[in-house]
Structure 1
Amino acid sequence: MKKWRFISNQNSTIVGINDAGIETFTANIYRSLERESIQNSLDVVVPNTNKPVLVEFVSFDMPRDCIPDVDDFEKFIKKCKESNKEEPDALKFFQCAENVICQPTIKVLRISDHNTIGLTGSDTCGKGTNWSRLVKESGSSNKGKSSGGSFGIGKAAAFACSDLRTVFYSSLDINDRVSNFGVAKLISFEDKTIGGWTTGVGYYSEDDSFMAIPELADFDKTYKRTDSGTDIYIFGMHQTEEFKKIFIRAVLMDFLVSLVKGKLVVNIQGEIIDKKSVHKYMAQLNPYDGEDVKDLLQYYHLLTSADPKIKKISLDAEVYGKKYGFRDGECTLYLQEEGNNMNEAFKNMEVPSHDAWEPGRCRGEEKKYNNILNDFRKYIRETVKKCYGKVSSNSMDAIGSSDFLPDTKESENNEKVSKNELSTLIKNLIGKSVAPVKNKSKMVEVKESDEKTDIGGGHEPRNDYTPTPNPNPYPGQVTKPRLDRNEKKTGYIKIDIKKRLICSDVKNGKYILNFNVPSTAPQGKLEFSLSGEQSDFELPIIKAMIVEKECSAEVDSIIYNIIYLRKMIKNEKLKIEVEVSFDRYCMMEVDYYANKK
């Protein structure tokens, strides 16, 4: 008979609410769930296939009556609450769980992978099988050396996201065996029917042997599995208002390489992220949303740009690694020339033979340059360790490696970010990045005068914008105008603002810029540029129009890549549509200046 079964702890260990495996992932439950789920799927891809792994995240509401053995399960929830009412954390959790299980519907998240081998071994459920490792075993893993995880605790991420701490597994494996099984990781509670306390872990099974049920689960009525793979159903999924946005961003952060190389496709509630569409989602990211986003955009540029200054160096085992058993091409080093500040610092330390850096060459500043060099070496060591300590055969994203970026941050007033949110902290950014441009752009070098552009209801580019040859062009590059603009710059002060720039029409080069005016000023200006790691390239503006109805600001003129504004009022929201001479997705840097004279 199928039902929930909790077994006696035989008068031994009492399990509390703070399960070590689950607590590992509570700092950032959604990011952890996405990362662990996709990595597990990439580790069990069907052998000898060129097809990408497809992972789906689909949220839906399920009627309470469709929960297996729901009435008995509700009783177990109440027993957990009553048996642990002296424990504040446990009491709070199970009061919430009781409220969830009593609702007419509950939120369920289905995570399904395809082009994977499924939970093999469900016929025997023996130790070491894929089925046993995922469903029953704790802290064990026999993944191969190319897999992205080895501690066997990633499965706990699903329970961390459940307000019921309950997960169902359903699978069709490559041997055409079907199975499903339910696991509830609650806490020890007193149960008179077994004469004592339970272990706290319950299984939904056919009998006390706790074997897999030989049929597929049927919780999502809109979905039917027809190929090999695994479905994970998280019951009582902790709700978030921006489900798609959070998961899309997390996927880009953690698996960019796999997406770019066509090894992975992710479907998040109908949003398909794959090799063809990843550029669209990258273009929607705002570099002002935090250092992690800025780093990701720069990383994407390295992976996809046709910029000849970016060097891609495949490992030569003869040069490094052969004596350790490494082979040619086991990793690829991406290099981009450093910026002027870094170049100058290391040039000061360079010895005449050009084969070493010596801080002692910088007399009077030896300590400073010694720190620069030592910290740089430490940075490289730690980066390599974090990037390649866990290398996936499916090219796991270096920036998205499990621990490359912290899961939590603290705000400036040291208040901790909620553990149930994928945090987004706004920071002032120093440094710039550029999105990839593989084809020749429309951008050209131009000559400029201080003549104002007719704004009106639209205009053609000024007649004095005449193209001239670019002696050393490469995609995205524009040489800066030759004429001096000091007259226009007089009295303007650069002001850091929090702003958001979104591409609204890539083919026509249209972007929407939003920000709050920081201070009242009769004049202001916005300076646009394509940004690169080393250099900035000015971006000709064709048209600009204020689209925020309640804003007093007006467009005064446009000169090349600068929009001049007037009537700036403090705290007013300024929303401006900008059309640039560029027909590809790109990342732009925007600087704001105000003139209070």
Structure 2
Amino acid sequence: MNIAWNFPNNGCGQTRGISDAGIETFTGIEIQSLAREICQNSLDATPDSSSSEVVVEFERYRIQSNAIPGYEIYKNKLHKAYNYWSNRKSEKTIAYLKKAKKAIENQNTFVLRISDYNTTGLIDPYGDSDDGWNALTKIDGGATKTGDKAGAFGIGKNAPFCNSEYRLVFYRTLNAENEIAAQGVSRFISFPEDETDTLHTMTTGFGYYGDTNGNLPVETIVELNNLQNRTGVGTDVFVYGFNAATTWEDDVTCEVLENFIMAIYKNKLVVSVNSTKINVTDLPALMECYKTKVRQAYCYYKVLSNPETKVFTKDFHGLGTLKLSVLVDAQEKLNRKVLVTRTSGMKLLTIGNISRLISFSGLLEMQGKELNEYFREMETPSHDKWVPGRYTKNPAQAKEYHDELKQWVRDMILGLGEYSSDEEIEVEGLSSVLQKESSSSTQHGDNKKEDLHNTIGDILIQPRATYQSKPKGLFHGNEGEGQSKSRDTQGNIGQGGFTATRTLGGNRQRTKKDTHRGTISQGGRDTVHEKYSGGTHEALKSIRIMKIANDKFRASFEVSRDVQSGHIEIVTVGENGKSNKLQVKSATGISACENIKCSSIGISFLNLKGNEKAMIEFSLVDSRDYAMEVNVYEHN
């Protein structure tokens, strides 16, 4: 057996340049991609019958460069590549090779070892299987993972090479069949072995360190054993020329927390980054320490750990189960997104654009092999979205299922959603309130103004403003037999309307006196709401307005006494403080009121009970989200 480096000849075929598509995918996020892809592969290699957590270790070593297996030969190959490409016009290639040549000639270098335990190891290292060892070292773009395994395109195995100054990685495994194998792989660049005959000696750019007869692995590579011995079943990855910044430990820790929070919390994964342990026991302290760096993970951790989290399940067309966990908490600045994970606990993608009015975070688990197989066919290579058109078997059905899943998630969350009374919310739309154009919007002048006046309840919203969402309301009650009470300028109850001169501030006063309903301020700046002929005016109690479905709302409130008949207005308030009545399409009574009906003046009712929570459900003509208020009017 001849153990050495071998770079196969390309047979006068394609020449491989420096811009490898698989490697370029991870450029700029090298260490993060390495942490994510390695842990994903380890979770995918969990034995079916195992109940033990997968353990992944990250450890860095400083070694002498001549301790790289086959160092002199590999350095010679790199020099040949530099000599050939330095006479070409590719500035990017020349710059890379110059940097790599300098790095390998340094006296010392770094090696990152990543080892997993309680996994299956890699099968068939000495055969020609399209799975296991060969899928990692030789097959390009031919991933064979199925079911609820996370990888789908075979791209992730390129991530370690981004983290090497000279694209050099060694693998080692001890599998369940007690087979031991080790091999070095270089995803490098084409170069000629003989510079006088570049056409016939050009290499493919891929190199292997091991048995040169068939480019097979060997049982032992001494230099790897000198770093760490493998005694249990699992796989090791050694990244030589490890080029990460000094913050690499924090970078790996943050990436693991962001992508595997569910797996760690459920004790499916334990990660060691030098001296840092990432496990379910230490998770609370880690989340507190890194919460500003892993804001998304922190929100999902709150979902997992808060006893107020609500859980919903749905059998999805017999394919498997959707499990949705949602936390709604106005006190926490949650991210208003739902994290989608597979059974392993690996982050898949996020669902957003659900509601800007509800402070929530959620976790959606895709449970079941068939369910995961179905939706994985829709995944993009970057695993960050579903595209139904990628499901070639039945794109129409895929779109239907995709939309149904997202709508179910939205409905469950909106059913829990409650407009917070003091949360600052950014809403697409409330920078200004405009009137909705009707079918006669082509009119001009006074006719158009009249049309807008008649459609004051139909409101469209333009982006974008930040405002204080404060659901509130007033009860306008009548007292006496046709008489009404109001306050005089000293705030005393009296008969008839309140006639006064409004003070605008400073020395400015209105000269016109009129009857208004308002709140007196001794400082002279009374707030006048509207003309009103009298009666009592008080704030409603315990007001809550919730969106319970895509187009349905629930309002609850209390009045201070029984009201025989009246009507309810639903209004929205713009940032300028002006309110606009919203048109209600339908309404039903739930408790503490009777005969709920829609009418031209709002939602009419009979026998509204005082000091008892009244509850109604309603839908609007316009299904947009608004900051709403409730006004209750008593009829004589």
TM over 0.5: yes
Report the alpha carbon displacement of residue 214 of structure 1 after superposing the two structures with TM. Answer: 2.2
- What one-letter code is carried by the residue in structure 1 that aligns with 2:178? D
Aligned to 1:337: 328
- 1:104, distance to aligned residue in structure 2 (A): 1.7
The counterpart of 2:207, out of the listed 184, 187, 202, is 202
Match for residue 269 of structure 2?
A: 264
Given that residues 185 and 207 in structure 2 are in contact (C-alpha distance below 8 angstroms), is that contact kept between their aligned partners in structure 1? Answer: yes
- Other-structure match for 2:159: 157
Q: Aligned pair in 2 of structure 1 residues 384, 13: CA closer, same or farther (>3 Å)?
A: farther
CA contact (8 A) 2:26 2:162 kept: yes
Structure 2 unaligned regions, length at least 5: 334-351, 386-422, 426-545, 547-636
- 1:470-485 equivalence runs, <5 A: none
Q: Which residue does the alignment assign to 1:167?
A: 169
Q: Which residue of 2 aligns with 1:454?
A: none
- The Cα offsets for residues 138-197 of structure 1, whole Å up to 9 and x where unpaired, read as 101111211011101110001111111011111111111100011111111122188421
Matched residues in 2 for 1:260 and 1:341: separation?
Answer: 20
**Shift in Å, 1:386:** 10
Q: Per-residue deviation at 1:91? A: 1.0
Contact 1:386–1:404 (8 Å) recurs in 2: no
- Structure 1 counterpart of 2:145, which letter? K
Unaligned runs of 5+ in 1: 343-373, 406-429, 433-533, 535-597
For normalisation by structure 2, the TM-score amounts to 0.52
State how far apart, in whole Å, the 1-side matches of 2:363 and 2:254 are. 24
Match of 1:464 in 2: none
Deviation of the 1:220 alpha carbon: 5.8
Displacement of 1:123 in angstroms is 2.8
Q: Secondary structure at the match of 1:26?
A: coil
Residue of structure 2 in register with 1:312 after alignment: 311
CA distance in 2, matches of 1:392, 1:61: 42
Contact 2:191 2:202 (C-alpha < 8 Å) held by counterparts: yes
More RCO (CA 8 Å, sep 6+): 1
Task: Identify the residue that residue 53 of structure 2 maps to in structure 1.
Answer: 52
Give the structure 1 partner of residue 243 of structure 2: 238
2-structure distance, mates of 1:7, 1:378: 57
Partner of 1:376: 354
Q: Flag the 1:267–1:220 CA change in 2: closer, same or farther, 3 A.
A: farther
Aligned partner of 1:119 in structure 2 is 122
Q: Is the partner of 2:324 in helix, strand or coil?
A: strand
RMSD of the alignment, in Å? 3.4
Matches within 5 A, 1:342-361: none
Partners of 2:34 and 2:331 lie apart in 1 by 40
Indicate the residue corresponding to 2:30 in structure 1: 29
| CA positional deviation for 1:402 | 6.2
**Distance in 2, Cα, partners of 1:262 & 1:268:** 17
Q: Partner amino acid for 1:336?
A: L
Contact 1:178 1:216 in 2 (8 A): no
Q: In structure 2, the residue corresponding to 1:205 is in which secondary structure? A: strand
Residue aligning to 1:273: 278
2:3 corresponding residue in structure 1? 2
> Residue 146 in 1 paired to residue 148 in 2?
yes
CA–CA distance in 1 between the matches of 2:356 and 2:291?
30
User: What is the CA distance between 1:296 and its match in structure 2?
Assistant: 2.1
SS at match of 2:281: coil
Distance in 1 of aligned mates of 2:52 and 2:424: 38
* 1:431-450 correspondence runs (5 A): none
- 2:324 matches 1:325: no
What secondary structure is seen at the aligned counterpart in 1 of 2:216? coil
Kindly indicate whether the alpha-carbon contact (under 8 Å) linking 2:164 and 2:239 is maintained by their aligned counterparts in 1: yes
CA distance in 1, matches of 2:194, 2:332: 72
Q: What is the CA–CA distance in structure 1 between the aligned matches of 2:201 and 2:364, rounded to whole Å?
A: 46
For residue 220 of structure 2, give the secondary structure of its aligned residue in structure 1: coil
Q: Note if contact 1:66-1:219 (Cα within 8 Å) is conserved in structure 2.
A: no
Describe the superposition over 1:111-155 as per-residue Cα deviations: whole angstroms up to 9, x where unpaired: 10001111110132x131301001111101111211011101110
What residue in structure 1 maps to residue 260 of structure 2? 255
Distance 1:118 1:392, change over 3 A: farther
Say whether the 8 Å CA contact 2:324–2:364 is kept in structure 1: no
Q: Distance in 2 between matches of 1:282 and 1:105?
A: 36
- Sequence identity percentage: 27
Cα displacement string for residues 517-562 of structure 1 (whole angstroms, at most 9, x for unaligned residues): xxxxxxxxxxxxxxxxx9xxxxxxxxxxxxxxxxxxxxxxxxxxxx
Cα distance in 1 for residues equivalent to 2:305 and 2:184: 43
Q: Which residue of 225, 228, 234 corresponds with 2:230?
A: 225
**One-letter amino acid matched to 1:269:** N
